[in-house]
Structure 1
């Protein structure tokens, strides 16, 4: 979802000042065309700019928690996992997510086949977009000063989690079109195995610069 700003206010000074970002990443289990989106199938991950960056490690960590914890038992009953996403955040953006999927499959789901599709940008509409649209309708309110106000809205639409990040460092088959042959490439360095892949928990990083902090504090004083 697009970055949500704090504080959010209709006063004119807000548009000329730097604001704190709340990042939002959604994972939706899609049950088929025409099916309603149930709250239990919607997971919304959030973190503040003061907690960490918006990059591929955060996306991979959120997805790893969802697949490895939330739907772990259900995944063991199936032979195929189909994932669809638009572009992941950050430079070298897809390798972190692919590495996480390799490790997760080798450590927890050895019999699971994973098909990961990246639809063409500008020509796709994914299930999380529907969730974000409903959220944006409620977020249009005049003023939001605290992260808890955003989270209260999001909790009405899905299961809310704060991202706990991992440092994310086989062969993968790729094809540019749905029809055609796979082209296989190695991801791991020679001699390495996914079975021993154990990413460490990364430290929290405050990405808010002092100039932005000063602007946010000034805005809060004006709004109060």
Structure 2
């Protein structure tokens, strides 16, 4: 079991190795001013540069001085998005994260860092309560439309094809009964899209006949 002062967190992929992370938050996203993808001037490899405000710079300087050679976990939504190793104390309030980054990987990490720096508060703009009668009325209207459509199809089939139309109507009725039986056995709920699907099935069956 992890110590009481630490948590076991995982990376963005559940298959990644776990990280033993201290519960104490050294720097939060509020202290981050900016993060951008860039290139290392020495080897031209993609890196991520970051910059803290004055409070964050002071905290980060103290943390890096005390933890040289140890990984520094960057956490977003309880996921370790990166854990770079502190190579030297960073006392200027800005630095860079290097590694085997691709250009896209550096951009993605910079976006995630900036996302953690943005306050995401939820503001209720509008709230509505829809009563059950509205849904019941919609279902009733859909059933009525389906029955009227089926009746018109029956009249049209018998009027155009006579006896053969009667046979087609019987086959169509058997088709609908089987559909309803299967829905009943499965315990399905009849919704407006379901009613529309049944009406479409009737139309396709008529067309095939």
The two structures have a TM-score, normalised by structure 2, of 0.21
- Larger gyration radius, structure 1 or structure 2: 2
RCO comparison, higher one (Cα < 8 Å, 6+): 1
More helix by share: 2
